[in-house]
């Protein structure tokens, strides 16, 4: 079940939200509301397959019990270090097997002369996201023991809460669980929460259905053709521009939908997307793109490796290791490792340049933006290509004048008009938080979870309602029978 499917929009969401509002209206306790949301989230996850939900249940149980032990027991420091290390190894090991086993099957078969077992159903849904959530929980229980232990129901809902479960944001337990513990508390303006949440959801749905899904077919056709050989230079340019905008609106749309869904239940999720193509450097890009993943890598990988505390060479090494891990987290294959390595190299170059030129005149900002976009686009080639050979063919075609085009139908006028509109939005329009006059919950896990209204706060004017209804109806009309999945669902 996908956020952009008829069964979710017209059946699942009305039932869960309606049930939640009824229970709350008639004085339901926090525990009852938690149980309702947990049940709904498990049904949502169960629709992906039995294997996925069994793995999720086992992972949540083991991590919760280990976290409770780390938080409550008073053993020697070595024992606690062993326990948290064991938890991290179990989580990372499970994730590695799930992601990389299919790549290892041929190698195992050759080495053992036996048929290695294959994972049924592909990659377990959301395993990358809930694994990182639970690693952060274990590490925090080891570093700072919580003053109050979470109940099993609170922890399970934190992990499976359906708006963030599949593809983020990577919400921190200190951000979400306090909100789950006060579901029955007197609310501020429930109608405003539902209205702004629905508007955010429809905005994200429009980005996905009307823009991202329109841009996808020509780009996919060229990238797939590159696996069989070279494509024309113009075809490569068209595909690269199309995919650059496709992944932007696909992920931005998903993030808006996730935050909007949570807000319908008066829950704030952290901001995860902040106009990244308006960045003036690669460092700035990673402050805007997948913000919660960037913060996780910073707090739980880069800083524990030593950060910038041991000199410049060690700092660059830590940056490279962190981004290589980020690439491997996204998927199995050398293409993702190279994508992460490229961003690591870009970050190192960016930091080195800053030491030489600490401040730049304002007129250089457009130049820096263009260089940043160019670097990001080159890295997207490896992120999107089906394999390393296809990526190299694509790069070669991109820089070869007069290459033989692949037998692919040219994009339609609708595709080109969508590129123009998408480019204007990505490069010059304000991000969702500014558009709504409200910034989502702080992305810093140390900050108290609170809604921070900017001036003016979002208000449901007649014009806004009309635009929202129009975008919603248009999006529903363009949803195909086979709903297009979100790019980050496969991670």
Q: What is the pLDDT of residues 80-115, one digit of tens each?
A: 888 899 999 999 999 988 887 766 665 555 566 555
- The pLDDT assigned to 108 comes to 59
Residue 187, beta-bridge partner list:
none
- The pLDDT assigned to 146 comes to 66
Q: What is the pTM for the complete model shown?
A: 0.90
Residue 225, beta-bridge partner list:
none
DSSP state of 10: I
CA distance 387 to 398: 17
Q: What is the pLDDT of residues 482-491, one digit of tens each?
A: 667 888 887 7
Q: Does residue 173 have an active-site annotation?
A: no
- The pLDDT assigned to 144 comes to 78
The distance in angstroms from the start CA to the end CA of the chain is: 16
Determine which helix (DSSP H) or strand (DSSP E) holds 345, and give its type and residue range. Answer: helix 334-356
Residue 477, beta-bridge partner list:
none
What is the chain's alpha carbon radius of gyration, rounded to the nearest angstrom? 23
- Contact between 384 and 223 under an 8 Å Cβ cutoff? The reply is yes
Among the listed residues 164, 172, 230, 330, the single catalytic one is 330
Residue 386 C-alpha from the chain's centroid: 20
- The pLDDT assigned to 145 comes to 66
Residue 270, beta-bridge partner list:
441
Name which of 31, 164, 268 is nearest 23 in CA terms.
31
CA distance 170 to 137: 12
- The pLDDT assigned to 447 comes to 38
CA distance 252 to 72: 40
Kindly write down the DSSP assignment for every residue of 217-276, as one continuous string. Answer: HHHHHHHHHHTTS---HHHHHHHHHHHHHHHHHHHHHHHHHHHHHHHHTT-PPBP-B--G
Domain boundaries defined on the chain: 6-180, 190-490
Per-residue pLDDT of the chain (491 residues; tens, 9 = 90+): 889 999 999 999 999 999 999 999 888 899 999 999 999 999 998 887 667 888 899 999 999 999 998 887 776 678 888 889 999 999 999 998 888 776 666 555 556 655 555 555 567 888 899 999 999 999 999 887 665 789 999 999 999 999 998 888 999 999 999 999 999 877 667 888 898 899 999 999 999 999 999 999 999 999 999 988 878 999 999 999 999 999 999 999 999 999 999 999 999 999 898 999 999 999 999 999 999 999 999 999 999 999 989 899 999 999 999 999 999 999 878 899 999 999 999 999 999 999 998 888 888 889 999 999 999 999 999 999 999 999 999 999 999 887 778 888 889 999 999 999 999 999 988 887 777 655 544 444 443 333 433 434 566 677 777 888 888 888 888 886 566 788 888 77
């Amino acid at each position: 079940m996908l956020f952009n499917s008829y069964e979710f929009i017209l059946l699942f969401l009305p039932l869960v939200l309606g049930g939640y509002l009824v229970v709350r209206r008639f004085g339901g306790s926090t525990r009852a509301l938690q149980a309702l949301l947990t049940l709904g989230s498990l049904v949502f996850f169960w629709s992906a397959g039995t294997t996925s939900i069994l793995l999720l249940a086992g992972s949540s149980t083991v991590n919760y019990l280990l976290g409770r032990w780390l938080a409550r027991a008073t053993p020697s420091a070595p024992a606690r270090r062993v326990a948290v290390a064991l938890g991290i190894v179990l989580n990372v090991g499970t994730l590695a097997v799930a992601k990389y086993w299919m790549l290892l099957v041929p190698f195992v078969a050759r080495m053992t002369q036996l048929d290695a077992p294959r994972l049924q159903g592909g990659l377990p849904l959301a395993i990358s996201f809930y694994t990182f959530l639970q690693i952060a929980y274990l590490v925090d229980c080891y570093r700072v023991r919580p003053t109050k232990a979470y109940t099993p129901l609170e922890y399970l809902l934190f992990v499976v809460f359906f708006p963030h479960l599949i593809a983020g944001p990577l919400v921190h337990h200190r951000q979400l669980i306090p909100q789950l513990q006060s579901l029955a508390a007197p609310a501020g303006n429930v109608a405003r929460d539902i209205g702004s949440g629905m508007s955010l959801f429809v905005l994200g749905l429009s980005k996905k259905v009307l823009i991202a899904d329109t841009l996808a077919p020509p780009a996919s056709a060229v990238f797939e053709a590159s696996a069989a050989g070279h494509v024309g230079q113009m075809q490569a340019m068209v595909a690269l521009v199309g995919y650059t905008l496709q992944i932007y609106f696909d992920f931005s749309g998903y993030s808006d939908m996730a935050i909007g869904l949570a807000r319908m239940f008066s829950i704030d999720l952290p901001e995860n997307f902040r106009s990244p193509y308006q960045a003036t450097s690669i460092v700035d890009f990673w402050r805007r793109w997948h913000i919660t993943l960037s913060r996780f890598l910073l707090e739980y990988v880069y800083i524990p490796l030593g950060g910038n505390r041991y000199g410049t060479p060690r700092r660059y090494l830590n940056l490279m290791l962190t981004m290589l891990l980020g690439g491997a987290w996204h998927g199995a294959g050398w293409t993702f490792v190279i994508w992460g390595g490229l961003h690591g190299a870009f970050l190192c170059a960016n930091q080195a340049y800053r030491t030489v030129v600490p401040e730049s005149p304002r007129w250089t900002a457009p130049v820096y933006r263009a260089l940043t976009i160019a670097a990001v686009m080159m890295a997207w080639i490896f992120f999107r290509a089906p394999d390393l050979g296809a990526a190299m063919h694509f790069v070669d075609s991109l820089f070869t004048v007069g290459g033989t085009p692949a037998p692919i139908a040219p994009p339609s006028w609708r595709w080109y008009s969508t590129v123009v509109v998408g480019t204007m939005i990505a490069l010059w329009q304000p991000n969702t938080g500014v558009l709504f006059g409200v910034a989502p919950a702080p992305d810093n896990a140390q900050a108290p979870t609170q809604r921070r209204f900017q001036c003016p706060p979002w208000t449901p004017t007649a014009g806004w309602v009309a635009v929202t209804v129009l975008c919603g109806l248009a999006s529903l009309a363009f949803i195909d029978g086979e709903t297009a999945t979100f790019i980050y669902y496969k991670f």
